[in-house]
Each structure stands twice: as C-alpha cells, then as structure tokens.
Amino acid sequence: MNDIYRGSLSAGSLLETGRLLRRWSRQPEVITTTLALPILLLLMFDLVLGKSLGSGVGDAADDPIYGFVPMIAIAGAIYGSTGTGSSLFKERESGLLRRFWVLPIHRATGLVGRLLAECVRAAVATVVVLLLGVVLGLRFEHGWAGMLGSLVVPIIVIAGFTPLVVAIGVSAVGDKVVELFAILVLLAMFFNTGFVPVQDYPGWLQPVVRYQPMSCAVDAMRGFTLGGAIATPLLYTVAWSAGLVAVFGTLAVRGYRKAARS
C-alpha cells in the first residue's frame, strides 16, 4: 500500500508539472517575466552600463557581463515566480484548487508538481540568459562543468523561494503581496554584487549586500563562469534556500490546504 501511495505521488506530481508548464506557456505574464524581461534587462545593462562600469583594460575579471548575466539569471528566476504566484492566486479564487483537493490523488501532488515546474521554468530562463550572455562576451573558464554549475545555481535559488511564493499566492491578499514582492526583487537587483563590486557600496550597507541571497548566488555563478571562489558562496546559497524552505514550507502547506478547503 505504501509503495502504491508513493507511486501515485510521483506520477501525479509529474502530471501536475506538465499541466503547469503547458498553462504557463499560454500565459503572457509568465512568458514576459520568465523570458522577455530578463532578455531586455540583460541587453539594457550590457549596452547602457557595460562600458561605464567596465575598466576598459581588457581584463575578463573586470568585464561587467560576468556580473550582469548571473544577476539577471537569478533575478529572472525569482521575478518569474511572481507570475506563477499570481496564477496560483487565480486558481484559488476560481475554485480550481478546491476541485483538485477532492480528486483521488495524493494531497501533496499540487505542491510537489509546482516545485518541479518552477525548477524547470528557472532552468529554461537561465539557459536563455546564458546563451545571450555568450553572444555578449561571456565565457566559461571551467568549460562544461562551469556551464552546468551556472545552470544549477538558479534552480537551487528557486527551490528555496517557491514555498515563499506559494505561501503568498494562496493567501487572501495574494495578488497585492505578489506585486509588492515583485517590486522588492527588482529593487534587489541594484543592491547585489552582480551590479557593482561590494566595495562600491557605503560601508554600512556592504554586509547586507554581500550576504543577501541574490549576491551569494551571483558570486557562485561568477565562480563557475569566470573562476574563483565557488564553495563558500554556493554553500551560502544552499543555506539561504534551506532556510526559506524551513521557514515558509509549513506556511505554504497550511495555506495551500486552507485555500483548497475553502
């Protein structure tokens, strides 16, 4: 009985993942936040700010593209989840979550399937950003290993932020809070180590910039692409994601159950 129960969870989660991905592919707001916005932001940052922020000495370590690409990949992964958070709120309001709740499927199918779908969405968006970065001059000093590592980091980040987005999306004021969360994500793009080096910020702000989750992930991706420290920023990124899951995981489960029963 337990084997059948576990099998139904895996099969149902994959079906839910496919349903969400097909639905998101037809939703303009998800496509915009996941693909169009990161592409436009990377082009804008590189074309408008690249020359002014670069040293002009031809050293790859000083090329802003190695900060811009990770920053846009991470921000795009997080910001894209706001579109799916709005979608989850609409499913709550329309009663779709309630209908799923009474179906003969594992109760965790909706949450696990959404987590998997978010990871796939983040991976696709990251691939697009990395490919555009290569066109703009990005190179992988660690070869294929660096490329795969750069792809994994945003997935780790979004795995941590998904419970937060779910907890917001299923709340009664989810639509308003999702908009506020999106603004905070865009604001964080100007206060991380991918935008400018941490020493360029005021002294009192440097610890906040250095250890905020986006900076940790950016530094890890920079290590995979350009070379340098990888273990420490990657460990901080995993710790941030695990912490978010620990804090918001229970809230997401409770909120989802309450929304499905309402």
Amino acid at 23: R
pLDDT of 122? 92
Domain chopping of the chain, boundaries: 2-261
| Residue 76 to residue 201: CA distance in whole angstroms | 23
pLDDT per position as a tens digit, 75-98: 988 887 877 777 787 777 777 777
Q: Extract the residue ranges of the chain whose pLDDT is less than 70.
A: 1-7, 50-62, 262
| Residue 102 to residue 16: CA distance in whole angstroms | 15
pLDDT of 60? 58
How many CB atoms sit inside 10 A of residue 99's CB? 11
Amino acid at 67: G
What would the DSSP string read from start to end of the chain?
-HHHHHHHHHHHHHHHHHHHHHHHTT-HHHHIIIIIHHHHHHHHIIIIIHHHHS-SS--GGG-THHHHHHHHHHHHHHHHHHHHHHHHHHHHHHTHHHHHHTSSS-TTHHHHHHHHHHHHHHHHHHHHHHHHHHHTT---TTHHHHHHHHHHHHHHHHHHHHHHHHHHHTSTTHHHHHHHHHHHHHHHTTSSTTTS-GGGS-TTTHHHHHHSHHHHHHHHHHHHHT-S--HHHHHHHHHHHHHHHHHHHHHHHHHHHHHHH-
Six-digit token string for 241: 């994601």
On whether the CB atoms of residues 225 and 141 are closer than 8 A, the answer is yes
Q: Which residue has the tokens 């576990």?
A: 6
pLDDT per position as a tens digit, 104-130: 777 778 888 888 999 999 999 999 999
On whether the CB atoms of residues 142 and 220 are closer than 8 A, the answer is no
pLDDT of 33? 80
| Residue 229 to residue 92: CA distance in whole angstroms | 43
> What pTM value is reported for the model?
0.87
pLDDT of 53? 64
